[in-house]
């Protein structure tokens, strides 16, 4: 009789252990998925809130290329979104005529009194791209997935 | 009979105990999923609403630079910009680009809306900007000015000599 009780006890403990492991694995997996969803939500809302505009003037008489430093392309980018952005060159992707410009060739300066690139602040990008021929060119700036294209002509 | 009854009761207790443990686990997991989904949904909803507001602001914003005059003798640039849209704009959020070079609104010595020193620039009102030294130091005689509002809507005008 006692052996029957012991075997029942063993089965009971085993069933509890199995149930606890199933519940544990389930909750930890769901926890990890929740963290990932939370991270993605933050990224996605940052992307939606991000909006930039290239405000440089591409008309005749306005200077875009070789203005202050020879061989430098100057772009003025305004933060028109509602998200504070990073004004450092390694957070801003720049392509000139389809060629990616590495961060060491791009210098970014937040203009005005601000230290951070808040809403309505303007960043001046100086892109070292010597040897651009006269003719039509195209620059693209990508910040947090928001892409802006600027077309200009060098006389 | 009594022995059999207690045995089946113990077996039943093991089964319901296991179910209880799994149920608690499921309950905790569902609680986490619900919290995260609700938070993410709310955050995204806020961001989308913000985006819609910005798009609406762009649609209802319109400006026109009605006058851009350069006085060569004392080096003053005077701009008159009319708010031709339907929305009230912030003067402090605007920027100008003179001959491709950035001139912030704070660089202008005088900025008046309808004759008053104000940041609120309502539809139909004229904004007058006057710069004494910044433009002269930048490029000498300016040729063209691009005025950019906070939402990014812009207008360009050639500068005329006074």
Chain segment B92-111, per-residue pLDDT in tens? 999 999 998 999 999 999 99
What residues 60-99 of chain A have any CB closer than 8 A to a CB of chain B?
Answer: 60-64, 67, 74, 76, 78, 80-82
Closest-approach residue (CA) in chain B for A27: B29
Beta carbons within 10 angstroms of residue B51's beta carbon: 17
Stated pTM of the model = 0.86
Rounded CA-CA distance A106/A89 in Å is 6
> How many angstroms separate the CA of residue B114 from the nearest CA in chain A?
23
- Which region among A101-105, B21-25, B50-54, B132-136 has the lowest average model confidence (pLDDT)? B132-136
The ipTM estimated for the assembled molecules is: 0.84
- Full pLDDT tens readout for chain A, 155 residues: 678 889 889 999 999 999 999 999 999 999 999 999 999 999 999 999 999 999 999 887 788 888 888 889 999 999 999 999 998 899 999 999 999 999 999 999 999 877 789 999 999 999 998 888 889 999 999 999 999 999 999 88
In A28-134, at which residue ranges do the beta strands (DSSP E only) sit?
52-54, 72-79, 93-96, 99-101, 106-110, 122-128
Rounded CA-CA distance B37/B161 in Å is 61
Q: Does B21 touch chain A (CB under 8 A)?
A: yes
Looking at the DSSP bridge assignments, the partners of residue B104 are B95
Using only C-alpha atoms, chain B has a radius of gyration, in whole angstroms, of 33
pLDDT at B17 over 60: yes
Closest CA to B95 of B133, B138, B152, B148: B148
A8 sits in which H/E element: helix A2-49
| Residues on chain B touching A37 (C-beta within 8 angstroms) | 36-37, 40
pLDDT at B13 over 90: no
* DSSP 8-class letter at A65: B
Query: In Å, what is the CA distance from A26 to each residue of A13, A40, A75, B36?
Result: 20, 21, 51, 16
| pLDDT tens digits, B56-79 | 999 999 999 999 999 988 889 999
Return the pLDDT at B16: 86
Q: Does A36 touch chain B (CB under 8 A)?
A: no
Chain centroid to CA B74: 37
| Residues on chain A touching B43 (C-beta within 8 angstroms) | 41-42, 45
For the segment B109-135, the average pLDDT, to the nearest whole number, is: 93
Q: How many CA atoms lie within 13 A of B31 on its CB side?
A: 8
| Residues on chain A touching B17 (C-beta within 8 angstroms) | 12, 15-16, 19
Of residues A16, A30, A81, nearest to B21 (C-beta): A16
Test B25 with A37 for CB contact under 8 angstroms: no
Residue B57 tokens, joined = 């602001």
Rounded CA-CA distance A53/A117 in Å is 13
| Residues on chain A touching B24 (C-beta within 8 angstroms) | 23
Counting Cβ atoms within 10 Å, is residue A60 exposed (0-12), middle (13-18) or buried (19+)? Answer: exposed
Test B29 with A31 for CB contact under 8 angstroms: yes
Test A26 with B95 for CB contact under 8 angstroms: no
Query: In this structure, are residues A100 and A92 in contact, taking their beta carbons and an 8 Å threshold?
Result: no
Question: Which residues make Cβ contacts (< 8 Å) with residue A25, sequence separation at least 6?
Answer: none
What residues 113-142 of chain A have any CB closer than 8 A to a CB of chain B?
Answer: 113, 120, 122, 124
């Amino acid at each position: 009789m006692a052996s029957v009780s012991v075997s029942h006890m063993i089965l009971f403990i085993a069933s509890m252990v199995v149930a606890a492991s199933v519940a544990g694995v389930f909750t930890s997996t769901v926890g990890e998925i929740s963290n990932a969803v939370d991270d993605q939500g933050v990224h996605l809302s940052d992307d939606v809130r991000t909006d930039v505009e290239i405000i440089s003037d591409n008309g005749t008489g306005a200077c875009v290329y070789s203005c202050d430093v020879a061989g430098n392309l100057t772009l003025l980018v305004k933060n028109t979104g509602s998200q504070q952005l990073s004004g450092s060159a390694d957070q801003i992707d720049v392509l000139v005529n389809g060629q990616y410009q590495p961060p060491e060739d791009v210098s970014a300066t937040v203009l005005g009194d601000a230290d951070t690139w808040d809403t309505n602040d303007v960043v001046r990008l100086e892109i070292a791209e010597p040897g651009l021929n006269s003719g039509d060119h195209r620059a693209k700036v990508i910040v947090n997935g928001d892409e802006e294209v600027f077309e200009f002509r060098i006389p | 009979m009594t022995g059999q009854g207690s045995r089946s009761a113990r077996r039943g207790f093991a089964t319901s105990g296991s179910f209880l443990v799994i149920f608690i686990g499921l309950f905790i997991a569902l609680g986490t999923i619900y919290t995260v989904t609700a938070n993410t949904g709310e955050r995204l909803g806020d961001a989308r609403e913000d985006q819609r507001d910005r798009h609406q602001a762009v649609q209802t914003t319109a400006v026109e630079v009605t006058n851009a005059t350069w006085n060569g003798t004392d080096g003053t640039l005077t701009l008159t910009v009319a708010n031709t849209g339907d929305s009230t704009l912030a003067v402090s959020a605007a920027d100008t680009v003179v001959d491709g070079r950035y001139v912030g609104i704070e660089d202008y010595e005088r900025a008046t809306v309808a004759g008053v020193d104000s940041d609120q620039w309502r539809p139909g009102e004229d904004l007058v900007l006057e710069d004494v030294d910044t433009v002269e130091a930048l490029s000498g005689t300016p040729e063209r000015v691009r005025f950019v509002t906070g939402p990014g809507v812009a207008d360009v005008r050639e500068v005329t000599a006074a």
